[in-house]
Amino acid sequence: MLPELDQSQFATIRPLVSGLAHRPAVEAVIAGTCAGRVFVDNLAQPNSCFIWERPGIYYVAGRETNEEFNSDLSALFTTAIIPSKPEAYWGYICPGSSAWGQVIPSLVPTRTHKRTCFVMPPAEAPAGLDARAVVHRGFRIQPVTEDLLTSSLVNIEGLRAELNHMWVSPAAFFRWSFGVCITCGDELASWCLAEYISQGSCGIGIETVKDFQRQGLATAAASVLVGRAVREGFTVHWDTSSSNQASQAVARKLGFPRELEYEVLSFHYGGS
């Protein structure tokens, strides 16, 4: 059985996860702003680690030739993780090195998929991001607030669901993060949230309700959110599937200067 670190000990794995710098969730888990669990081979001096991020994404880093750790990790997937959701679900594992990318399929049946990460450091942010926040008449751009979250807007349940999925509670979101939304009358049309917050880094969560898509709302909301994030000193990460051309188009339209394609290993849940 893999030993599990207490949250106060999470910083001990930081030297092991440099190969996951493109995934802001890892540092957010270590910092305590994103809920997660961390398992290691040795509590006193970790050499290998496994991070179980709350929304159901997993990371493996450190020494990959640790046979006892690898055996226990395989057992954890078989007995606890894979049976935990209905068969319709897929999860994915982010390897902390190319060597881990070779080892993981021997521990868990997986398929390789590609993801693309766009990165915008504050010093490389294009000028006038907020000026791109143009919406048609009848739409209103506004911050995500506690009052808005408790309102009776049509589609507000989608925003509530995302906050509950990504954060321990809405209170945690309002303590650590910020967001932007676009409304049309009494309907919530689109939202963009800063997620995976840690010191100097954040990710992006974005959604547009189906009936409001293809009207430039995602670009408008994201431009305001990203503009605020870089002004506050955050390096912004925009991560999406390499097959999601629409999401990539928005990131490129906003002028993200850096782009990285990387591989993750997807597995199929098999609960009863």
Say whether pLDDT at 180 is over 70.
Answer: yes
Q: Are residues 182 and 72 in the same domain?
A: no
Residue 84 banded pLDDT, cuts 50, 70, 90: confident
Q: What pLDDT, on the 0 to 100 scale, is given for residue 271?
A: 53
Q: What pLDDT, on the 0 to 100 scale, is given for residue 56?
A: 78
Q: What pLDDT, on the 0 to 100 scale, is given for residue 160?
A: 96
Q: What is the number of domains present in the chain?
A: 2
Say whether pLDDT at 132 is over 70.
Answer: no
Q: Are residues 246 and 144 in the same domain?
A: yes
Residue 114 banded pLDDT, cuts 50, 70, 90: very high
What is the percentage of the chain residues whose pLDDT exceeds 70? 98
User: 157 Cβ partners below 8 Å, 6+ apart?
Assistant: none
Q: Mean pLDDT across the stretch 168-181?
A: 94
- The amino acid present at 204, given as its one-letter code, is I
Q: Mean pLDDT across the stretch 13-40?
A: 96
Mean pLDDT lowest among 15-19, 106-110, 151-155, 168-172: 168-172
Query: Hey, what are 124's tokens?
Result: 């490389």
What is the percentage of the chain residues whose pLDDT exceeds 90? 86
Q: Is 25 contained in some domain?
A: yes
Say whether pLDDT at 37 is over 80.
Answer: yes
Q: Mean pLDDT across the stretch 147-151?
A: 97
3-state secondary structure 135-167: CCCCEEEEECCHHHHCCCCECHHHHHHHHHHHC
Q: Are residues 157 and 229 in the same domain?
A: yes
Q: What pLDDT, on the 0 to 100 scale, is given for residue 85?
A: 81
Q: Is 17 contained in some domain?
A: yes
Q: Is 234 contained in some domain?
A: yes
Q: Where residue 181 sits, what CATH number does that domain have?
A: 3.40.630.30
Among 82, 116, 150, residue at a domain's last position:
116
Q: How many CB atoms lie within 10 A of CB 143?
A: 12
| Strand order from edge to edge, sheet including 57-62 | 36-40, 48-53, 57-62, 90-95, 258-268, 111-120, 235-241, 201-208, 187-198, 179-184, 139-143
Say whether pLDDT at 55 is over 70.
Answer: no
Residue 272 banded pLDDT, cuts 50, 70, 90: very low
Q: Are residues 199 and 245 in the same domain?
A: yes
Q: Are residues 243 and 198 in the same domain?
A: yes
Q: Are residues 130 and 227 in the same domain?
A: yes
Q: Which domain does 223 fall in, by range?
A: 122-256
Q: Is 111 contained in some domain?
A: yes
Q: Where residue 84 sits, what CATH number does that domain have?
A: 3.40.630.110
Q: Mean pLDDT across the stretch 177-199?
A: 97
Q: Is 211 contained in some domain?
A: yes
Decide if 190 contacts 218 (C-beta within 8 A).
yes
Mean pLDDT (the chain, rounded) = 94
Q: Mean pLDDT across the stretch 222-227?
A: 96
- 194 versus 131: which is more confidently predicted? 194
Q: Are residues 126 and 247 in the same domain?
A: yes
Among 95, 116, 137, residue at a domain's last position:
116
Residue 131 banded pLDDT, cuts 50, 70, 90: low
Q: Is 271 contained in some domain?
A: no
pTM of the model: 0.93
Q: Is 174 contained in some domain?
A: yes
Q: Are residues 39 and 23 in the same domain?
A: yes
Q: Mean pLDDT across the stretch 185-198?
A: 97
